[in-house]
Amino acid sequence: MTDRKKMTLPMLFQKVAQGVPITWLTGYDYPTAFLEDQAGVDMILVGDSLGMTMLGFDSTLPVTMDDMIRHAAAVRRGAPNAWVVGDMPYMSYQPSVETAIRNAGRFMAEAGCDCVKLEGGAEVADRVAGIARAGIPVIGHLGLTPQSATALGGFRLQGKDAARAKKIVDDAAALADAGAFAVLLELVPDRLCQLITERSNGTIILSLGSGPHAHGQLLIYHDAFALYPKFKPRMAKVFADAGAVIAEGLAAYVDEVTQRTFPAPANWFGMPDDAYEELIRMLEDAPAR
């Protein structure tokens, strides 16, 4: 087991000041969080993408706060030292500032998260401000925001033309002014991400599919390890084909059980002769049922 210090907000800012990119991955369960923490991943996002990657829905919209709390608490148990981000699911912050603060509080109190993330720009600045005022660190999320994928025309590059790019620049500033300590830019052009990073003035800018110029990178765990069967986005790199390794193992399992080569003696437990013989005597004396 590696010995690492608990990641803190000052440590994240220190990485930025030193020009060392922040590493961020999604994680949704205890064993994955354990591996990510041991690998030294700085931040773990318990994303509402779990609706797709873990629960098999076609979008993130059906995910509830209770789903998120369950998974976030498991991640916290597996990753005591990473900076754990609770992703606010659909309708957990949109209705009102109070709803947003209460649900952000649940991530902190019930799941032990270090901060929360929510989607949207200037239109959610009051939610961000309320959460930040409640003492909860907040990350904003711009560009491709999956909860509004329908309104954005699907899962596609955002901010391609000057007017839309300007809106994203303005939204990043609005989130920073409202108190977001970081802003995630998902699937925007690299030059737009670079520009926002250069203008960020104390706000940490993180990239998912938005190029190399941000202060850190995020990837969806299932994309990075080929574990999502439905599609592989271009922005993701497969760092290890865990899906293929598991598929191979599953085929071997089915084969060995079918061929009776599993289990082997090393996989079971025997019973002492005297206990077994006594059991047989007891059963002989007992009426068959």
Q: Does 146 bind ligand KIV (CB under 6 A)?
A: yes
Cα→Cα distances 230→153, 168, 184, 208, 226, Å: 19, 29, 24, 19, 10
Nearest distance, CB of residue 71 and ligand KIV, angstroms = 11
CB 159 within 8 A of CB 169: no
Q: Give the number of residues in contact with ligand KIV, rule: CB under 6 A.
A: 12
Per DSSP, the three-state class of 286 is: coil
Nearest distance, CB of residue 145 and ligand KIV, angstroms = 8
Residue of minimal Cβ distance to ligand KIV: 47
Query: Which residue in the list 119, 186, 248, 256 is annotated as catalytic?
Result: 186
Cα→Cα distances 35→32, 86, 150, 162, 182, Å: 5, 18, 34, 41, 25
Is 110 catalytic? The answer is: no
Question: Which range touches ligand KIV (CB under 6 A), out of 9-17, 43-51, 65-73, 250-258?
Answer: 43-51
Q: Does 47 bind ligand KIV (CB under 6 A)?
A: yes
148 HSE (CA, 13 A, CB side):
15
Cα→Cα distances 56→45, 50, 63, Å: 18, 8, 11
Q: Find the binding residues for ligand KIV in span 228-287 (CB under 6 A).
A: none
Among 7, 25, 45, 74, binds ligand KIV (CB under 6 A): 45
Q: Interface residues with ligand KIV (CB under 6 A)?
A: 26, 45, 47-49, 60, 87, 146, 184, 186, 208, 220
